[in-house]
Amino acid sequence: MALWDKIKGEFIDIVQWLDDTNDTLVYRFERYGNEIKYNAKLVVREGQMAAFINEGQLADVFKPGTYTLTTQNLPILATLKGWKYGFESPFKAEVYFCSTRQFTNLKWGTPGPCTMRDPEFGAVRVTAYGLYSIKIKDPATFIREIVGTDGNFTTDGIEDNLRGKIGTRVKEVMPELGIPVIDLESKVVTVGEMLRDRLKPVIEGFGLDLTEVQVQDIGLPEEVERAIDKAGAMRAIGNMQMYTQYETANSINDAANNPGGLAAAGVGIGMGFGMGGQMAGAMGGMFNAQAQGQPGFGAAPGMAPPPLPPQVQFFVALGGQQAGPFDMAALQQMAQNGQLTRDTLVWKQGMASWAAASTVTELSPVFGALPPPIPPW
């Protein structure tokens, strides 16, 4: 009985692989001291393929399913072994199970900056990194080119190799994408798809399918990032007058709720308009210098000048009724016609109350060309 048990133990009835790992690409069926007998069952589960290797030569590849190992199912192996009596006796052959599911979250990165020619910034050195996914497409090629005789081949055995190949190819491909560097970060999905399509033929040479390439980050040089930030800041400064007006309107609302009222706010409002005018003037001079071919103060090429400041307008008390508002040209005409005198009450936004026109400094040019009133005799 012991002799029969020994003989029976040398034969394997079921050839299968139950994968309990997350990183095994290829597993060689353990056959040390055992032989596969004729009519044994081969079980290939979904997400697997099985390759038979005899004396270093590929015999057959089986897709998912259950097979009975006979000469009908293994014609190539039968020919290789050259048995006269078929498979009536046990045989020895290496069975490699290949996992055909996707292996995700594998990392890649450029081994160094790649130089890209950008229409706005010129030559720019860019780095990138991300994730990729693979699956076995051709088990025979993968075993022949990568696995060899490794009986337990995991992603660790190929990840370093693929990381280097993908990173190097990315350095070659990115300059050919034709995407401006300033748009790369907003088009990472498109960049990933383009990289996958360009890298697929290289990976297929190993019997693998590159199913996905994710670009997680694009690294731009510090000087380019500073230039982008400066361009955004200059665009914001271009609307400084609008910003000042907005802040002034808020200050009026705040002043109405303060004990000082609008009278206290008048000084602040005047200062706000003055600062806005000074900054707008400075910005206008800078843009004019740039338009004349002179260096501006860090202005980006092609930037439009800020809007002109609004003209000052006054309301005028005529016949006990409020009229206006009138700009300076209209006020000049009214002064010449005698409608506006030095004693006429006027008001504009920012003034605490109505005041005589002669007391408003901004109206001095209006009366500068008029003779003073004739003194009484």
Length of the chain: 377
- pLDDT for 297: 46
Alpha carbon distance 33, 9 (integer Å): 9
Of the three residues 190, 220, 250, the one that is the final residue of a domain is 220
Q: Is the pLDDT of residue 233 over 80?
A: no
Structure tokens at 24: 């095994």
Going from the C-alpha of 154 to that of each of 50, 137, 159, 208, the distances in angstroms are 16, 16, 9, 14
Tell me which amino acid residue 35 is.
E
pLDDT in tens, 339-363: 888 888 888 887 888 888 888 877 7
- pLDDT for 134: 94
Q: Is the pLDDT of residue 99 over 60?
A: yes
pLDDT in tens, 195-230: 899 889 989 999 999 999 999 888 887 877 777 677
- pLDDT for 6: 43
Residue 76, domain member (yes or no): yes
352 is in which domain, residue-wise? 314-368
Q: What CATH code is carried by the domain that includes residue 211?
A: 3.30.479.30
- pLDDT for 358: 82
3-class secondary-structure state, position 6: helix
Mean pLDDT, range 269-278, rounded to an integer: 50
Residue 128, domain member (yes or no): yes
Ramachandran angles phi, psi of 125, nearest 5°: -95, 120
Query: In terms of domains, do 212 and 114 share one?
Result: yes
Query: In terms of domains, do 84 and 131 share one?
Result: no
- pLDDT for 48: 94
Going from the C-alpha of 120 to that of each of 153, 201, 220, 289, 330, the distances in angstroms are 48, 33, 14, 22, 48
pLDDT in tens, 287-312: 454 445 554 444 445 566 777 666 77
Positive/negative CA dihedral, 168, 172, 178, 182: positive
Q: How confident is the model at residue 1 (pLDDT cuts 50, 70, 90)?
A: very low
Q: Is the pLDDT of residue 95 over 70?
A: yes
Of the three residues 68, 99, 130, the one that is the final residue of a domain is 99
Structure tokens at 232: 């955004």
53, 91 contact by CB (below 8 A): no
Q: How confident is the model at residue 239 (pLDDT cuts 50, 70, 90)?
A: low
Domains in the chain, number: 4
- pLDDT for 35: 67
Alpha carbon distance 298, 337 (integer Å): 49
Mean pLDDT, range 45-52, rounded to an integer: 92
pLDDT in tens, 2-46: 444 444 444 567 889 998 888 999 999 876 544 677 678 889 999
| Highest mean pLDDT (candidates 45-54, 245-254, 313-322, 360-369) | 45-54
Residue 306, domain member (yes or no): no
- pLDDT for 231: 64
- pLDDT for 74: 63
Q: In the chain, what percentage of residues exceed pLDDT 70?
A: 65
- pLDDT for 258: 62
- pLDDT for 262: 47
Query: In terms of domains, do 132 and 154 share one?
Result: yes
Of the three residues 187, 220, 253, the one that is the final residue of a domain is 220
324, 318 contact by CB (below 8 A): no
Residue 327, domain member (yes or no): yes
Q: Is the pLDDT of residue 151 over 50?
A: yes
